[in-house]
Amino acid sequence: MRSRGLFSRCALVLGLVFLYVPILSMVIFSFNNSRLVTVWDAAHSPTLKWYVALAANEQILRAAWLSIRIALVASTGAVILGTLAGVALARFGAFRGRLLLAGMTTAPIVMPEVITGLSLLLLFVAMEQLIGWPKGVGAVTITLAHITFCMAYVTVVVQSRLAGMDESLEEAAMDLGARPGRVFFRITLPLILPAIASGWLLAFTLSWDDLVITQFVAGPGSSTLPMVIFSKVRFGVTPDVNALATILVLIVATGIGVSTVWMRYQQRRRERDVLLAAAANL
């Protein structure tokens, strides 16, 4: 027993090293002076010159701004559609179209992205021929595509949260005469809010990061940040991309750190409230 525990613990540590070394190397080399990126120029490093270059790069800034706007709209749309689908799948029992909906929400998660991208573009082209909308491809078609593949993830997150949740509160509300809409907004929605929030974050990240599907449904003048990065790194390593990666890692780490501290704080407050309530009863 002990020896196997040791083996799996070693595997865990090595696995984590494997997951983090590449990220760490990007961070380190973003402060390197040399254009060769992976050869450390000890005489002139660390330097912030790639960050300065990044801040002056109009193309990257424009693409980042477009990506943020698309991700904001797409993740919000995906959360609305995904929550509806998740609630329907988890609470409506066997309704007509259940199997269809269940199938269509899990398939996009594993579907190879080139296929999704190609099929969406062909749809948009066929639609334009047929009804004259959308006029060409661009930010609108990218957003529609992102909503579609992101909502699958939101559905799974919301559905599994609801599946693990007791229905008795909702039933009690209904027994007391609350209408279904009221039950949803007063009981169900507050209870699944954490799942919706993490679904939104997940959708935002996926949309912000997507390259393959976006490439198919993007047009001239609608290059997102991953598209710009891909065209830069396709033919080798460029140091300003390291600087960009470092900034992203910093944002994510800060976000996770803040949310962890926030959750700890909430938990401690709850515990204190329980203690106070117990003391008041003495």
258 phi-psi bin (left φ>0, alpha ψ -120 to 50, beta other): alpha
Q: Name which of residues 227 to 246 contact other proteins (CB under 8 A).
A: 229-230, 233-234, 236-237, 241-242, 244-245
Site for other proteins contains 115 (CB under 8 A): yes
Site for other proteins contains 85 (CB under 8 A): yes
Site for other proteins contains 151 (CB under 8 A): yes
Q: How far is CA 191 from the centre of its chain?
A: 21
Q: CB of 240: closest distance to other proteins in angstroms?
A: 12
Q: Name which of residues 34 to 53 contact other proteins (CB under 8 A).
A: 36-39
Can you state the angle between helices 98-110 and 58-91, rounded to 10 degrees?
150
The answer to whether residues 222 and 124 touch, using CB atoms and an 8 Å cutoff, is: no
Site for other proteins contains 226 (CB under 8 A): yes
Site for other proteins contains 252 (CB under 8 A): yes
The answer to whether residues 31 and 48 touch, using CB atoms and an 8 Å cutoff, is: yes
Widest pairwise Cα distance in the chain: 76
C-alpha–C-alpha distance, residues 171 and 160, integer Å: 19
Q: Name which of residues 163 to 222 contact other proteins (CB under 8 A).
A: 163-164, 205, 208-209, 211-212, 215-216
Q: CB of 141: closest distance to other proteins in angstroms?
A: 10
Per CB under 8 A, the list member of 64, 142, 157, 159 interacting with other proteins is 159
The piece of 7-15, 54-62, 169-177, 268-276 that touches other proteins (CB under 8 A) is 7-15
Per CB under 8 A, the list member of 43, 58, 94, 100 interacting with other proteins is 100
Say which residues have a Cβ less than 8 Å from residue 151's Cβ, sequence separation at least 6: 77, 78, 79, 81, 82, 85, 105, 203
Q: CB of 276: closest distance to other proteins in angstroms?
A: 25
Cβ neighbourhood burial of 260 (10 Å; 0-12, 13-18, 19+): exposed
